[in-house]
Amino acid sequence: MPRAMTSKERVLTAFARQEPDRVPINYHANPGIDRRLKDHYGLAPDDTMGLCDVLGVDFRYVGVPYTGAPLHAERPERQVNPLWGWVTRYVEHESGSYWDYCDFPLQDADEETVANWPFPSPDDHDYSGVADACRERQQFAVHAGGAGLACIMNTAGFLRGMEQVFVDLALDEPAGLLLIDRLLAVQLEVTRRTLEAAQGGVDFMWIGEDLGTQQGPIISMDTFRKHIRPRQQPFFDLAKAYDLPVMIHTCGSSSWAYDDYIEMGLTVADTLQPEAADMAPAYLKGRFGDRLAFHGCISTAGPVAYGTVDDTVAYCRDTLKIMMPGGGYCFAPTHSLQDNSPTENVVAMYQTAHQYGRY
């Protein structure tokens, strides 16, 4: 049996496609199920770190706060992002609620309007606390970024609408491409300054790009290579300059792009929706297991949401049996756990990871 590892050692061992003492564990959840889990464990509503400790989460995030003035005004019955200006509305459904993107203020914008749309400056962020935050989290695997970093289609879609973003990419629409390039330029510079301020305390970079529907690719390979790959390559280059692994969040049927991402410098593929085409655990492990590590694969639309506790345990055990051999697997939900997930199923999910995820 391997010696007990720190969370940092555990994650980096898995990222290197080797076997740690147990599978690394991660957690993301919507507010409803998050509150129920904290109630279940007797934690205060704001005790997120306490919940992470209970669940055995091996990952921690470090970022930089925005210190500038709000750039976009509030609106009645809407939530307006004060930095970027995208708009959401509150939607309730039978199992919970969420803020859904709407109105799309740059949907019909021309190039001049996009050029003048207020964006936050990298100068208006406070980088002074990054090194201390990394030291406080040094036993964990610390990441800069997340699923929204370097994400082109979703993020531009918040402002322009998804349909228009696809038109922009297909027709080389100058206004849409300018919006993408402005978004990425700010993100890249903020990330560069964050890594510099971290003084070696960041362990990996996390980026994202949703690439598929449940049935197949959401864009063509030609479009990916023309517009997505060259715009994301600078983020991989930045990570390489700091000797950091890169993990990418990829929703839907996304494995069609993994060979290109490996060439770009990808270390870990995240999300891994097993219901989507060419995303089943056995397919991913067999096709890419000698070149990629994996993070995710526990569906938020499967037994954890709709099954019993026994169904959840069996499902998680089956995934572990496929993904664990030889290392290279991190146990995590495919997306944020949804509010329709029974509390007892989520508890069983993490108990299964601890009980059966040991090498």
Quick one: what percent of the chain has pLDDT higher than 70?
99
Give the CATH number, domain containing residue 62. Answer: 3.20.20.210
Residue 261 is assigned to a structural domain of this protein: yes
Residue 84 reports pLDDT greater than 80: yes
CB environment 342-357: b (16+ within 10 A), e (fewer) = beebbbbbbbbbeebb
Beta-bridge mates of residue 143? 61, 204
293-298 and 246-250: which strand pairing? Answer: unpaired
Question: Each residue of 264-313: pLDDT tens digit?
Answer: 999 999 999 999 999 999 999 999 999 999 999 999 999 999 999 999 99
Q: What is the mean pLDDT of residues 182-196?
A: 98
Q: Sign of the C-alpha dihedral, residues 256, 260, 261, 267? A: positive
Residue 96 is assigned to a structural domain of this protein: no
Residue 92 is assigned to a structural domain of this protein: no
Distance CA 228, CA 213 (A): 17
Distance CA 194, CA 62 (A): 9
Residue 84 is assigned to a structural domain of this protein: no
Beta-bridge mates of residue 20? none
Task: Quote the pLDDT of residue 144.
Answer: 98
Quickly state the pLDDT bin for 98 (edges 50, 70, 90).
confident
Residue-averaged pLDDT of the chain: 97
pTM, two decimals, is 0.97
Quickly state the pLDDT bin for 139 (edges 50, 70, 90).
very high
Distances (CA, A) of 256 to 93, 126, 212: 34, 38, 9
- Among 242, 271, 61, 262, which residue's Cα sits nearest to residue 151? 271
Comparing 94 with 253, the larger pLDDT belongs to: 253
Task: Quote the pLDDT of residue 28.
Answer: 97
Residue 94 is assigned to a structural domain of this protein: no
Task: Quote the pLDDT of residue 3.
Answer: 79
Residue 113 is assigned to a structural domain of this protein: no
Phi (first) and psi of residue 264, to 5 degrees: -75, -20
Residue 78 is assigned to a structural domain of this protein: no
CB environment 293-314: b (16+ within 10 A), e (fewer) = bbbbbbbbbbbbbebebeebbe
Q: Domain range spanning residue 41?
A: 7-72+120-356
Domain count of the fold of the chain = 1
Residue 91 is assigned to a structural domain of this protein: no
Hey, how many other C-beta atoms are within 10 angstroms of the C-beta on 237? 12
Question: Each residue of 251-262: pLDDT tens digit?
Answer: 999 999 999 999
Map tokens 């919507």 to a residue. 30
87-93 and 79-80: which strand pairing? Answer: antiparallel
Residue 355 reports pLDDT greater than 90: yes
- Among 141, 172, 163, 180, which residue's Cα sits nearest to residue 267? 141
